Amino acid sequence: MTLNGAVPHIHTITNFKMTGSPTKSSIASTYNGTATFTAFMHSFSVPISMKIMGLAMRLWIGDGWTGHFGNTPIYGTVAK
């Protein structure tokens, strides 16, 4: 979806593969790796960074192939 709500579509992120070890602090854990990103029926391998802060999550998708998300992370909640 664009910022104005036009062109709605779905993204799918699957097959996350962590590279290295997670970075942990007393308040957060960061997991870096790659994943398969699918949009408009095309799939790409993209770098992913997930930061878990209690029940909050920040997901950064480095999808330089289109600049689809730019440097804007996606925020969500963690279900336990």
Tell whether 3 is covered by a domain: no
**Contact between 38 and 11 (Cβ < 8 Å):** yes
Average pLDDT of the chain?
Answer: 85
Tell whether 6 is covered by a domain: no
Tell whether 5 is covered by a domain: no
pLDDT, tens digit, 9 for 90 and up, residues 48-59: 999 999 999 999
Judge whether residue 75 has pLDDT over 60: yes
Of 68, 57, 49, 61, residue with least CA distance to 3: 68
Show the DSSP H helices in 1-80 as ranges.
Answer: none
The pLDDT of residue 63 is 60
Judge whether residue 23 has pLDDT over 80: yes
Residue 21's domain spans which residues? 11-74
- Could you give the CA distance from residue 21 to residue 5 in angstroms, rounded to a whole number? 38
Of 54, 49, 41, residue with least CA distance to 69: 49
Domain count for the chain: 1
